[in-house]
Structure 1
């Protein structure tokens, strides 16, 4: 499978995202009543802020930049390392949603304010249900991408870019809580899962020589 992925990197990501979107749609369609309402006392201490929608939405172009950037300019091994880390966790999280349906009751009854950012939050609320939230996919993928760029040789001499990406990652983790899309429990579980899976994938890839990817 690894050799096929190395030989067909575009198809690998395209096929996975088709699978993921279909799986996610099924979860959204059939998992509508949570058996676990995720909540922590810390959540009640975090104020709502519509400005959190800014890093929340930056997550989407960051995915495209990461996947396309590593594929276009990075070594094939680094691209596959990032993809296997992201895709493994994303799949496991969806499976967890099926086994333990969960949701939130943190959203305000009415989004405060009527400015542009408040309108964006309302738009997200209308299209993204507070179901299937723990672990947070937003956080898991953010941390995975941050780790991917930390590993990447592309930024070996650009430490300042890594710092900016660390800050973006942190902003996303905070942003999802500020707009009440996630509990701190979702965030912490997403971070821990990303670190564990990245460690596992890193060890697996260390046992594979670079020539195996070049020969694919």
Structure 2
């Protein structure tokens, strides 16, 4: 207990991660209730993108990618941590609001043979656990962009060129995986990019001067 108390005193800013409970509760509610009479997200480009089960690898790596990025900044830089969380959670909330009032989903998931290979089996399992609804904008795409922005903007990671390059490659692979697995329409990804562009300027500001950084550091303690 003393160890936990000491951890919470040192990293009291961990509290903001409790937002995850709000998000999961809201999202699960939408998954249960948005099951029919929803707008199908589809554009012509979707028909030209082939299904590729191997993209399940970067798609699942998203969970680790975002989690590790959050934890890294939680333990190393409080200011970057708050910025990342504000970026991620703002977009996730907007996505939930959109899906609440604009019911949406896809209808182009292919029929799969789970016995083909381990990757197809994994995609089949994903299809069973994740409904084809509440897809616009894509949180997978949005959070991947947010994690990469935080890594690129980090002063402590600027000297780690391979980390930044690797992050960019993984972010791109995750974004592509959403359409190659037929989890999302291209328009879902475009919506996420637009949302990320707008929220970037809100969270990271126009230049963010040294004086502003000092003020923020004082506020955050």
Scaled by the length of structure 1, what TM-score is found? 0.90
Moved segments of 4+, more than 3 Å: 204-208
* Corresponding residue of 1:196: 198
What is the Cα deviation at residue 65 of structure 1? Answer: 0.2
Q: Which residue of 2 aligns with 1:21?
A: 24
Q: Which is greater in Rg? A: 2
CA distance in 1, matches of 2:178, 2:159: 31
Look up the SS of the partner of 2:119 in the other structure. Answer: helix
Which structure 2 residues correspond to residues 1-216 of structure 1 after superposition, within 5 A?
8-13=12-17, 15-73=18-76, 75-111=77-113, 114-203=116-205, 206=208, 207=212, 209-213=215-219, 215=221
* Unpaired stretches in structure 2, ≥5 consecutive residues: 1-9
More RCO (CA 8 Å, sep 6+): 1
Q: Deviations over 1:19-74 (max 9, x none)?
A: 1111111111112124310001110000001001010000001121011111112x
C-alpha contact 1:66 1:145 (8 A) present in aligned 2: yes
In the TM superposition, what is the alpha-carbon distance from 1:213 to its structure 2 partner? 4.2
Does the aligned pair in 1 maintain the 2:11–2:74 contact within 8 Å? no
Report the equivalent of 1:3.
none
Indicate the SS of the match to 2:156: helix
1:137-189 residue CA offsets vs partner (Å, 9 max, x unmatched): 11011111111111112211112211111110100111111110011111111
User: In 2 relative to 1, CA 137–34 (structure 1 residues): closer, same or farther, beyond 3 Å?
Assistant: farther
Deviates more, 1:90-99 or 1:110-119: 110-119
Q: CA RMSD in A?
A: 1.9
Q: Does the 8 A contact of 1:50 with 1:118 survive in 2?
A: yes
**TM-score w.r.t. structure 2 length?**
0.88
User: Which 5+ residue runs of structure 1 have no aligned equivalent?
Assistant: 1-5
Q: Secondary structure at the match of 2:111?
A: coil
Q: Which stretch shifts more, 23-32 or 121-130?
A: 23-32
Note if contact 2:114-2:121 (Cα within 8 Å) is conserved in structure 1.
no
Structure 1 residues 187 and 37 mapped into 2: Cα distance closer, same or farther (>3 Å)? same
